[in-house]
Amino acid sequence: MSEGVLPARHEVRLRTDQRHAGGYAPRMRIYPKRVRGPFRRIKWVLLAALLGLYYLLPWLRWDRGPGVPDQAVLVDFLTRRIYVFGIEIWPDEIYVLAGLLILAALVLFWVTALFGRVWCGFFCPQTVWTDLYMAVERLVEGDRAERIRLDKSPWTAHKFAKKAVKHLLWLLIAAATGGAWIMYFNDAPTVTAAILTGAASVTQYFFFGLFTATTYLLAGIAREQVCIYMCPWPRIQGALVDQDTLAVTYERVRGEPRGPLRKGAGWDGRGDCIDCGQCVAVCPMGVDIRDGFQLGCIGCALCIDACNQVMDRIGRPRWLIAYDSERNLALRAAGKRPVYRLMRPRTWLYAAATLAVAAGLAGWLLLRSDAEINVLHDRNPLYVTLSDGSIRNGYTLKILNKTRTQRRFALELAGIEGADVRLAGPGGLREGPLWLEAPPDGVASQRLFVTVPPERLRGERTDLRFLLTDLATGRRFEAATVFRGPGSRLP
Ligand code: SF4
Ligand code: SF4
């Protein structure tokens, strides 16, 4: 693969066309220039917040009582739980994660329909880490012109030292990233000490190495190639945007015909674009936004900052590059006033779906039970006819106690009048009053038998409910099953 330096203008359209044609364009090295402006500031704030959250979250503690992990956010394979501050997700609640993923996807659809690739430009981990890596690169090797000069210069001790420092810093960031990742699955202080002293497990070293390597390669080496060739999202988001989506846009009507600014020349008969190439020079993707909407543009808005600075310098109005829609481009071309339609059928639909899933998750959080009751009917035999003619069924009742205290439950039956229940124990069958103990943070399992006079049954299957009442709190739990009579068979 041949490599070259991406010029600030002219050749980008060709590269973009090659990508659209489905081929692999030879990689042109991109040297993004430093830029200042409101969008750059927003990106710095988000970068600090998102990376700070990622690196520091595993170190936050959350007291859950003795014998329980005190890490605020932890996926614990040992106890098969996910801890998120005061919320504890048990294996039987794993569907909540599916709900969270659906919610995240819907928010992404909604935001994309409103503002194009704002996720890619501001929030995507690939963008955030690449931005950090580029900041380190700029710190060590200088801005665009210095970096181009350095790369073209022959290898000297000075060049070697700069490259070595840059890659060392990149590797340290990568190691911190890989280390932080495994802390979400292990106690952070313990696994950090283990990694540093060589006492970690093979699995821990494997994932630490894997995430260190991928961070270094994706953010340091592959960079824009990930967004263009590896990520499916640019292809998917094409189906989510429409003519009213606000995306980073070059105001062609105002900018064309473009041309260099000549001293003393007026603005009559020409556009505001002075073809300075600053919008391309700052672009981390090497895109020329003046060529229109493109697959390579991640919507980071840095070209807006760059062009606004140029407009300030030449005394022309800002926002030659701005967030605008395809509809407005056409309206401006026709000499009409632009219209902004944020809420339209598809954005209403995404908003409604997002709110519905969010309400469902909030409902789960508020109404989730601190105990689960399961009843398993004996399969063999399905029923037994006793000497007095009454029918007996056997069951196994399981109580999952999700609290950290021992609990005692009173047991009752409902659904069949005159049903008699007895618990199986070491001394035989125990008669009422019936209560069951459930250990803290564990499962109680109890065999029991229900006997019913035949005249109370409604056919081969009669609905039956087990009612459990927590004797300390009065909370009631219910599990439905069936009582099987003569003639009943397994399906
Ligand atoms: S920064 Fe603005 S003026 Fe300069 S080339 Fe880009 S669009 Fe034209
Ligand atoms: S064209 Fe502008 S918005 Fe798109 S990636 Fe480049 S700098 Fe960011």
Ligand 2 pocket mutation, candidates 285, 291, 308, criterion most atoms within 8 A of CB? 285
Q: Tell whether the model's pLDDT for residue 21 goes beyond 60.
A: no
Confidence band of 369 (pLDDT split at 50, 70, 90) = confident
- How many structural domains does the chain have? 1
DSSP string, 208-226: HHHHHHHHIIIIIIITHHI
Residue with CA closest to ligand 1 atom 3: 273
For range 442-453, the mean pLDDT:
93
The angle subtended at Cα 333 by Cα 327 and Cα 335, nearest 5°, is: 105
CATH of the domain at 430: 2.60.40.10
Q: What is the pLDDT of residue 445?
A: 94
For range 424-429, the mean pLDDT:
80
Q: Which atom of ligand 1 is nearest to 9's Cα?
A: 5
Reported as a single tens digit per residue, the pLDDT across 250-279 is: 999 999 999 998 888 888 889 999 999 999
Q: Which ligand is nearest to the CA of 314?
A: 1
Tell me the C-alpha distance between 419 and 219, whole Å. 68
Q: Is residue 425 part of a domain?
A: yes
Reported as a single tens digit per residue, the pLDDT across 376-418 is: 999 888 999 999 999 999 999 999 998 889 999 999 999 999 8
Question: What Rg, from alpha-carbon coordinates, does the chain have?
Answer: 33
Q: Is residue 438 part of a domain?
A: yes
Please give the share of the chain, as a percent, with pLDDT higher than 90. 76
Q: Is residue 203 part of a domain?
A: no
Q: For residue 153, how many other CB atoms are within 10 A of its CB?
A: 10
Reported as a single tens digit per residue, the pLDDT across 138-158 is: 999 999 999 999 999 999 999
Q: Tell whether the model's pLDDT for residue 1 goes beyond 50.
A: no
- Name the average pLDDT for the chain: 91
CB 265 within 8 A of CB 276: no
Q: Is residue 284 part of a domain?
A: no
- Terminal C-alpha separation, the chain: 64
For range 361-375, the mean pLDDT:
91
Q: What is the pLDDT of residue 190?
A: 96
Say which range, 15-24, 93-102, 138-147, has the weakest mean pLDDT.
15-24
CA 316 / ligand 1 centre spacing (Å): 12
Residue with CA closest to ligand 1 atom 6: 279
Q: Is residue 278 part of a domain?
A: no
Q: What is the pLDDT of residue 217?
A: 98
Q: What is the pLDDT of residue 413?
A: 92
Q: Tell whether the model's pLDDT for residue 8 goes beyond 80.
A: no
Closest CA to 355 of 111, 106, 109, 123: 106
Reported as a single tens digit per residue, the pLDDT across 32-57 is: 999 999 999 999 999 999 999 999 99
For range 318-332, the mean pLDDT:
95
Q: Is residue 473 part of a domain?
A: yes
Q: What is the pLDDT of residue 4?
A: 47
Reported as a single tens digit per residue, the pLDDT across 187-242 is: 999 999 999 999 999 999 999 999 999 999 999 999 999 999 899 888 888 889 99
> Which residue range forms the structural domain that includes residue 467?
371-484
Q: For residue 182, how many other CB atoms are within 10 A of its CB?
A: 23
Give 279's contacts (C-beta < 8 A, 6+ positions apart).
Answer: 250, 288, 289, 290, 303, 306, 307, 321
Say which range, 27-31, 168-172, 187-191, has the weakest mean pLDDT.
27-31
For residues 214 and 485, the model is more confident at: 214
Beta-carbon-side half-sphere exposure of residue 303 (alpha carbons within 13 Å): 29
For 239-262, b/e burial (b = at least 16 CB within 10 A) is ebbeebbbbbbbbbeebeebeebe
For range 80-91, the mean pLDDT:
91
Q: Which atom of ligand 2 is nearest to 301's Cα?
A: 3
Tell me the C-alpha distance between 465 and 480, whole Å. 4
Residue with CA closest to ligand 2 atom 8: 300
Ligand 2 pocket mutation, candidates 126, 298, 310, 320, criterion most atoms within 8 A of CB? 298
Tell me the C-alpha distance between 467 and 434, whole Å. 11
CA 114 / ligand 2 centre spacing (Å): 17
Q: Is residue 386 part of a domain?
A: yes
CA 169 / ligand 2 centre spacing (Å): 26
Tell me the C-alpha distance between 101 and 51, whole Å. 21
297 lines ligand 2 (CB under 6 A): yes
280 lines ligand 2 (CB under 6 A): no
Confidence band of 491 (pLDDT split at 50, 70, 90) = low
Q: Which atom of ligand 1 is nearest to 275's Cα?
A: 5
CA 294 / ligand 2 centre spacing (Å): 10
For range 87-98, the mean pLDDT:
88
Tokens of 316: 């022309």
Q: What is the pLDDT of residue 22?
A: 55
Q: What is the pLDDT of residue 432?
A: 65
Q: What is the pLDDT of residue 20?
A: 47
CA 299 / ligand 2 centre spacing (Å): 5
The model's pTM: 0.83
C-alpha dist (Å) from residue 453 to 66, 417, 429, 457: 49, 9, 18, 7
Q: What is the pLDDT of residue 7?
A: 45
248 lines ligand 2 (CB under 6 A): yes
Q: Tell whether the model's pLDDT for residue 467 goes beyond 70.
A: yes
Q: What is the pLDDT of residue 23?
A: 63
Q: What is the pLDDT of residue 13?
A: 43
Tell me the C-alpha distance between 296 and 285, whole Å. 6
273 lines ligand 1 (CB under 6 A): yes
Q: Is residue 381 part of a domain?
A: yes
The dihedral sign for the CA sequence 295, 298, 299, 305: negative
CA 288 / ligand 1 centre spacing (Å): 9
Q: What is the pLDDT of residue 155?
A: 96
Q: What is the pLDDT of residue 427?
A: 76
